[in-house]
Amino acid sequence: ETTRKPQSYGLNCEVKNTLEKNKRTPFLFYSECQILLCVGSYQRNYNYTEVSRTLCPSESVPMNGSSEQIVFINVASMAPYDAHYQLQVTKIKNFQLSMDTTFTFTASPSQPQYFLYQFPPDVDSVIVRVISKTIYPCSVVSIQDIVCPVYDLDYNVEFNGVYQSMTKQAALTVQKKDFPSKQFFVVFVIKPEDYTCGSSIPPSIQGTVYIHAILFSFLTFFSFYLGALVVGFVQYISGGQELSTLDRRPPCGSDTDSSVEEESDFDTMPEIESNKNVIRTKVSLANGFCIFIRICFVFCRNIITIAVFYALPVVQLVITYQTVVNITGNQDICYYNFLCAHPLGVLSAFNNILSNIGHMLLGILFLLIVLCRDLLHRRSLEMKDICAMEYGIPKHFGLFYAMGVALMMEGVLSACYHVCPNYTNFQFDTSFMYMIAGLCMLKLYQTRHPDINASAYSAYASFAVVICLAVLGVVFGKNVWFWVLFSIIHVVASLGLSTQIYYMGRFKIDLGIFRRIAIVLYTDYIQQCSRPMYMDRMILLVVGNLVNWSFAIFGLVYRPRDFASYMLGIFICNLLLYLAFYVIMKLRSSEKLLPFPLFCIVATAVVWAAALYFFFQNPSSWEETPAQSREKNRPCILLGFFDDHDIWHFLSAAALFFSFLVRFFLITK
């Protein structure tokens, strides 16, 4: 004789109002072990002629066995006359959900539903996926332990277990270790109002998928290390052949950047005037080399200090967010892609954090590449190499070190943001992107003007102002007057910076600036209509101002809610313009691009294009309500573990790395 596994089932108690006159006099129904059903707790009352509740099953019973339990139904009414109603108790079919089986049901604000799921022995976690054919009404999906009474009402569903609000779809990852009884209730509550905002249970991923995803992430970026070793070995072999013919070559020519438009732009002492807040380096690195090194590495030391003081409070804050989510069960706090959110330990979406490992690994690799070039340069100085001592622009590796540290910190802060992504901490994901863009532009400017070494303190102070503006944009981004003020500051700053760049810092900005501008416009363009003295520089500045004014107009008209990305777009566009101008001027000066820098340029363009494609897929968005954001959730597309945004992390890390290589090898050829 075989015995069947005990099966749980539910009883549904339904009451229907049968007379029209009873609609004005509500009934009160309650059963033993059930909380009173309160309808109309909002500012507006809603009348329902049908009310049903599922009675909480007290214990599992054998499917083929007889079980008798007593249910008490108490009815009370304030009607002054006899009330007629229908009371029906039915056994719920399919009360226990099955693996990989789609189940369709209906619910309403007065008829909540819940079902039971038991973990199979070989399954450690599952994803509960709910899909509605219509976007509204707003619903709440809750996962609760097997405890009576079940919190299946609008006003108490949030007090037990974990829950999500939903409009069209929702997904909750449930782990067996969180439920000692190896089973749980899936509760569905329909909201009477929509302002706060089908069941299939596929198996979640196994532990081996985590291992495969981690190995894939590390091996992918360690392949860059292997490629760097191969390139370094090839250069070492070719370098040895070049050293053998060094004595037969003519004296080394100047390695000064040939993208300079005019000889008069540089190396003339009259240019150094009171308004030029710069530090001039020595022409020969042999004299005062220690002073130069100290000036260069101020950038690297300062960015490490900034990173430590910025990152520690961020880590503490996001840990607090994750703790609140785990304790309260409110999964509306964080905007995950719940269809591809794989927990690990206390982290709710480990895959979004793991995918940022590329920024850190490639940042370390870039630091190693810079260190190798730095050591080779110092060795040349120790060997009294005349090319290193007397010719070429001063080698400023401090900025490159700072760029590598910034790339690593971008990965750290992006991972912190994805611990609990939401509106209030999005600036963590973009703060060091501002630093990266600013450092790259500063390095290009220094390369084009090799006799100038800008102050690190002034540069980082400028970045601090930008981050402050980003925070103000997050706080006051909906205020039209903020956008008016920001657009004015943006346009005025563009004009002022353009003037400083065009006149190489020799244009004095004071109260008499407007009078001098009027005189220059009249004498140079109206009176004699002469061409600009520095035509190439003028073209760059005109294009740059048009781009920046377009950004200012766009922000003033549309006022995008994502102010941090808007600011980042301004920085990235200006950086790309400056880099394109730098490369074009090199080609205009009849310089040839070597194969490896050319490969880096092509790789940068291709990888950035692919990365931006996945960036705009947007599987979640904190610009909308949590329920609306979950409408955009998508399943995993890579290894069953990573989603579109994770691929954006992988590709953007590679794109930034190639972008750094373009600047590094074009400048330190």
Residue 62 corresponds to which amino acid?
A: P
Q: Which of 641, 58, 11, 29 is nearest to 354 (CA)?
A: 641
CB 363 within 8 A of CB 404: yes
Chain segment 314-323, per-residue pLDDT in tens: 888 888 888 8
Q: Rounded to whole angstroms, how far apart are CA atoms 178 and 160?
A: 13
Spans of the chain below 70 pLDDT: 1-46, 58-67, 194-196, 198-205, 239-297, 381, 384-395, 448-454, 500-534, 667-669
Q: What pLDDT is stored for residue 268 in this prediction?
A: 40
CB 380 within 8 A of CB 387: yes
- Specify the 3-state DSSP secondary structure of 47: coil
Q: Rounded to whole angstroms, how far apart are CA atoms 651 and 644?
A: 11
Q: What pLDDT is stored for residue 590 in this prediction?
A: 73
The pTM of the full predicted model, rounded to 2 decimals, is: 0.70
Q: Rounded to whole angstroms, how far apart are CA atoms 466 and 431?
A: 9
Give the phi and the psi of residue 392 in degrees, each rounded to 5: 85, 170
Q: Residue 386 belongs to what H/E stretch?
A: helix 386-390
Q: Which of 154, 156, 152 is nearest to 138 (CA)?
A: 154
55: Cβ contacts below 8 Å, ≥ 6 apart: 10, 11, 12, 13, 31, 33, 34, 71
Q: What pLDDT is stored for residue 364 in this prediction?
A: 92
Assigned token pair, 612: 């931006």
Q: What pLDDT is stored for residue 503 in this prediction?
A: 64
Assigned token pair, 239: 């370098």
Give the phi and the psi of residue 268 in degrees, each rounded to 5: -120, 125
Give the phi and the psi of residue 238 in degrees, each rounded to 5: -65, -30
Q: Residue 454 belongs to what H/E stretch?
A: strand 453-454
Q: What pLDDT is stored for residue 574 in this prediction?
A: 83
Q: Which of 192, 202, 56 is nearest to 116 (CA)?
A: 56
Assigned token pair, 259: 């993208």
Q: Which of 621, 630, 650 is nearest to 638 (CA)?
A: 650
Question: Following CA atoms 299, 304, 310, 315 in sequence, which dihedral angle do they give, to the nearest 10 degrees?
Answer: 150
CB-neighbour burial class of residue 165 (10 A; exposed 0-12, middle 13-18, buried 19+): buried
600: Cβ contacts below 8 Å, ≥ 6 apart: 658, 661, 662, 665
Residue 253 is given by DSSP the state P
ω before 421 within 30° of 0 (cis)?
no
Q: What pLDDT is stored for residue 28 in this prediction?
A: 58
Q: Which of 165, 440, 391, 446 is nearest to 278 (CA)?
A: 446
Q: What pLDDT is stored for residue 290 in this prediction?
A: 54
Give the phi and the psi of residue 184 in degrees, each rounded to 5: -155, 165
Q: Rounded to whole angstroms, how far apart are CA atoms 370 and 56?
A: 66
456: Cβ contacts below 8 Å, ≥ 6 apart: 298, 299, 302
CB 140 within 8 A of CB 155: no
Q: How far apart are the first and last CA of the chain?
A: 84
Angle formed by the axes of helices 563-588 and 456-476, nearest 10°: 140
Residue 579 corresponds to which amino acid?
A: L
Angle formed by the axes of helices 289-296 and 398-417, nearest 10°: 20
Q: Rounded to whole angstroms, how far apart are CA atoms 464 and 431?
A: 9
Q: What pLDDT is stored for residue 666 in this prediction?
A: 74
Alpha helices per DSSP H over 184-260:
207-244
Assigned token pair, 18: 């049968």
Q: What pLDDT is stored for residue 263 in this prediction?
A: 37
Per-residue H/E/C for 134-145: CCCCCEEEEEEC
Q: Rounded to whole angstroms, how far apart are CA atoms 381 and 504?
A: 31
Residue 344 is given by DSSP the state B
Q: What pLDDT is stored for residue 275 in this prediction?
A: 42
Q: Rounded to whole angstroms, how far apart are CA atoms 668 and 375?
A: 13
Compute the chain's Rg from CA coordinates.
Answer: 33
Q: Which of 28, 327, 48, 274 is nearest to 162 (CA)?
A: 327
